[in-house]
Copies of this chain bind each other. A is one copy, B any other.
Amino acid sequence: MNLKDLKHDAASEAQAVRQRIRRGEITGHTSGLAPGCVQGNVAILPQALAADFLRFCQLNPKPCPLIGMSAPGDPALPALGENIDMRTDVPRYRVFRKGELVEEPTDISHIWRDDLVTFILGCSYSFEWALLEDGLTMHHMEEGKNVPMYKTNVQTTPAGPFHGPLVVSMRSFKPAQAIRAIQITSRFPGVHGAPVHIGLPDSIGIRDITKPDWGDAIDVPADELPLFWACGVTPQAVVAEAKPDFCITHAPGSMLVTDLKNSQLSVF
C-alpha cells in the first residue's frame, strides 16, 4: 500500500461515516468514528449575521478556530470533504429561533435557506487525539465522563451582537506531562492550540474547580496541575446569548466528520 492509498483510506472512511449519517443510520454522538479524522463544531447562521460571526472568530481564534466556511446557501464544504452536504451530514442538529431551542432534527433540508452560511470550528477531539498518540492519558476519558468546562472572568473580544466570557475545558497532568501537553497542543492552533491557563484557576475567575459550569466534575490529584484550554462551548454560549432570529448548531457531541486527518492540522 502506498502513501496515496493510505490518504485515500482515511478520507474514504470519513466519507462512509457521512453516508451512514445521511441515511439516518447514525443519529447520536460521533466520538470514535473515522479515527484520526478531524471533527468539527457546527454553526449555521443567516448571511446577515455571518460577517459579524466571522469577525468574532477572527478576533477570538483560541475559542473559535475556524477550519471551514461555506458560501451563502451552499451546503457543500469542499475544503473539508468530498460531497459534504450540511443539510444531512451531521447526525443531529439543534435549531434555534430567537434564541429558543425549537427542534433537534437529524436532517435540516426542510428548513434550509439560500442565505445560510456554515461555519466549522476545530474541536478538542483533535488535540486530545494528539495527546493520546503521545501516550498522555486524561482522567475524564478514563472515568468515562465529559471534560469539565468553566466560565472564566476573561471576556472575549466582541463583534456585533456576539460577546461573552471565554469558556475553558480542564485536563490535569503531572508537571512534566503538563509541559509535554503544552508542547503537543501548541502544534495544533487550528483546534484551540496551547492551553490559555495553568495552575491558578482562581486568577481566571474559577472559584471552585469541583463545580464546572458544563460537563462533569473531575478530581485534580495533589501531584497534578490543572491545565485550561479555550473551549468550543464559548461560541455556542455567545450565539445563544445573541439570540439570533434563526440559527442551527450541531447537537452536543454530534459533530461534522471531515476528510482531514488530525495530523494535517499540525503546524510543525
Q: Is A183 part of the binding interface, using a Cβ–Cβ cutoff of 8 Å?
A: yes
- Encoded as 1 (CB less than 8 Å from any B CB) or 0, chain A from 207 to 234 comes to 0000000000000000101000000000
Q: Is A196 part of the binding interface, using a Cβ–Cβ cutoff of 8 Å?
A: yes
Q: List A160-208 residues whose CB lies under 8 Å from chain B.
A: 174-176, 178-179, 182-183, 186, 194-200, 203-204
Complex contact B223–A194 (CB within 8 A): no
- Encoded as 1 (CB less than 8 Å from any B CB) or 0, chain A from 37 to 73 comes to 0000000000000000000000000000000000000
Which listed residue (B179, B194, B196, B204) contacts A194, Cβ 8 A? B179
Complex contact A175–B194 (CB within 8 A): no
Which listed residue (B179, B195, B199, B203) contacts A195, Cβ 8 A? B179
Complex contact A183–B194 (CB within 8 A): yes
Q: Whose C-beta in chain B lies nearest to the C-beta of A204? A: B175
B residues less than 8 Å from A186 (CB atoms): 183, 186
B residues less than 8 Å from A200 (CB atoms): 175, 223, 225
Complex contact A203–B175 (CB within 8 A): yes
Q: Whose C-beta in chain B lies nearest to the C-beta of A227? A: B179
B residues less than 8 Å from A268 (CB atoms): 268
Q: How many copies does the complex hold?
A: 2
Closest chain-B Cβ to A182's Cβ sits at a distance in Å of 5
B residues less than 8 Å from A203 (CB atoms): 174-175, 223
Complex contact B199–A176 (CB within 8 A): no
Complex contact A199–B183 (CB within 8 A): no
Q: List A131-179 residues whose CB lies under 8 Å from chain B.
A: 174-176, 178-179
Complex contact A199–B182 (CB within 8 A): no
Closest chain-B Cβ to A205's Cβ sits at a distance in Å of 13
The answer for the CA separation of A196 and B183 in the assembled complex, in Å, is 12
B residues less than 8 Å from A199 (CB atoms): 175, 178, 198-199, 225
Closest chain-B Cβ to A161's Cβ sits at a distance in Å of 28
Which listed residue (B175, B182, B194, B196) contacts A197, Cβ 8 A? B175
A175-B198, A176-B197, A182-B182 known; 7 new pairs, CB 8 Å cut-off, are A174-B203, A175-B197, A175-B203, A179-B182, A183-B194, A198-B199, A200-B225
Which residues on A are within 8 Å of B, measured CB to CB?
A: 174-176, 178-179, 182-183, 186, 194-200, 203-204, 223, 225, 268
